[in-house]
Amino acid sequence: MATGEPLLAVERLTKHYGNVVALNDVSFSITDGITGILGENGAGKSTAIKILLGLLRPTSGTATVLGQDASESIAVRARVGYMPEHDCLPTHVSAAEFLTHMAEVSGLPPSMARTRAADTLRHVGLFEERYRAIAGYSTGMKQRVKLGQALVHDPAFVFLDEPTAGLDPAGREDMLALIRKTHREFGISVLFSSHLMADIERTCDRIVVLQGGRLVQSGEVGQFTRETETVFIEVDNNRERLVAALETRGVVVTIDHTGLTIEGPDESVYDHVRDALVEAQAPLRRMAPRRRALTELFERDAETANAQGAA
């Protein structure tokens, strides 16, 4: 593939299950990096991933992976990995044996499969436990085995479907760190599906938001949060006088229990804040730019979509 060409692309993708529309005219493309596919349960995330993996045929539209038609080319699957959301591990074999087998099924010769399995288990943090039967593993360890089997054949691209599902906070942190490592250290691009916006925001470079089978937004994560940037101000006293001083300068202020939040700041707002602080004689304790979380953005988009649906 030529540099800059999308690794994945879907064009006017539609999938019907009987009368149910799982995906409706969805188009987006993904280049190198970590991309989050965000949406509530039933938004169409898993359907999109299954079409990209060639497991489902679209009702209409096209899906290409590494430049090849996803539903036609079996060979391209040697260069992609998939970590499903659900349990998918045998219980009676060791992680080393399982990963070796999966590497062979991906087309690697047996000797290389054994080497790759050991290396991959080291990278996902299971090297010491690699000869134990999977049945005895914790949920976090099983998630690592699932990630390992997706990476063992060194794919160019890996699909992770809800990789943090069922993990405790520490396990979730570890898994997110592993996902970042997968791209930044291993050089494998990632499409990471989740309904947990915090996970996507902290891990991904780009985001695709689906809702009810429709594409709501797609682009850089920074782009989403930049457009809702705010400035947070905390003062020791004279807060009401400061609010009045800001409002006389035309600045929109929201008061919360710890401080003030100023919406959509541009360069001039900082000058207005400086002048208002002097005028109100309010000692400044803290002033910092803040980004709205994707949670808020998603709620806003959901409200817009619902309103359009109602209309």
Partner 1 sequence: MTTDAIAQTEAPASHGGASGTVFDIGYQRYTGRREGRGRSRLAIFKDGFRTALGFGRGARAKILPWFFIGVLSAIALVMAIVAGAAERLGGPGTAERADLPSHSDFYGIASIILFVFAAVVAPELLCPDRRNRVITLYLVRPLSGADYITSRWLAFLVVMLAAAWLPQVILFLGLSMGDPSPALYLRNHWLDVPRFLGAGAAMAAYTTTLAMLTASFTTRRAYASVFLVGLFIITTPFTVGLAQEIEGAAGQWISMFNLTNIPVHVNDVIFGDVSEITEDAPARELGARMLVAWFFIWTLVPGAILWWRYRRLTP
The footprint of partner 1 (CB under 8 A) covers 50, 53-56, 74-75, 77-78, 80, 82, 84, 86-93, 97, 101-102, 104-109, 112, 116, 119, 123, 149, 153-154, 184-187
Give 28 or 157: the residue with its C-beta nearer to partner 1. 157
How much is the CA Rg of the chain, to the nearest whole Å? Answer: 24
Give 56 or 197: the residue with its C-beta nearer to partner 1. 56
Shortest distance in whole angstroms from residue 105 CB to partner 1: 5
Q: At what angle do helices 139-151 and 95-105 cross, to 10 degrees?
A: 30
Shortest distance in whole angstroms from residue 16 CB to partner 1: 15
Contacts for 35 with CB less than 8 Å, ≥ 6 apart: 189, 190, 191, 192, 204, 205, 206, 207, 208
Give 104 or 174: the residue with its C-beta nearer to partner 1. 104
Shortest distance in whole angstroms from residue 114 CB to partner 1: 12
CA distance 167 to 163: 9
* Nearest Cα residue to 165 out of 86, 99, 52: 86
Shortest distance in whole angstroms from residue 168 CB to partner 1: 23
Sequence length of the chain is: 311
Give 182 or 218: the residue with its C-beta nearer to partner 1. 182
Ordered strands of the 189-194 beta sheet? 80-83, 157-161, 189-194, 34-38, 206-211, 214-220
Contacts for 219 with CB less than 8 Å, ≥ 6 apart: 206, 207
Give 17 or 226: the residue with its C-beta nearer to partner 1. 17
Contact 10, 28 (CB under 8 A): yes
Give 153 or 172: the residue with its C-beta nearer to partner 1. 153
Shortest distance in whole angstroms from residue 72 CB to partner 1: 12
Give 77 or 206: the residue with its C-beta nearer to partner 1. 77
How many angstroms separate the Cα of 127 from the Cα of each of 53, 121, 122, 290? 29, 5, 4, 41
How many angstroms separate the Cα of 177 from the Cα of each of 144, 256, 266? 12, 33, 34
Give 148 or 212: the residue with its C-beta nearer to partner 1. 148
The CA dihedral of 166, 172, 176, 181, to the nearest 10 degrees, is: -110
Q: How many CA within 13 A on the CB side of residue 57? A: 3
Q: Residue 157 has which token pair?
A: 């691209």
Shortest distance in whole angstroms from residue 58 CB to partner 1: 13
Shortest distance in whole angstroms from residue 6 CB to partner 1: 20
Q: Residue 122 has which token pair?
A: 């080291």
Shortest distance in whole angstroms from residue 265 CB to partner 1: 38
CA distance 4 to 8: 11
Give 87 or 240: the residue with its C-beta nearer to partner 1. 87
Shortest distance in whole angstroms from residue 86 CB to partner 1: 6
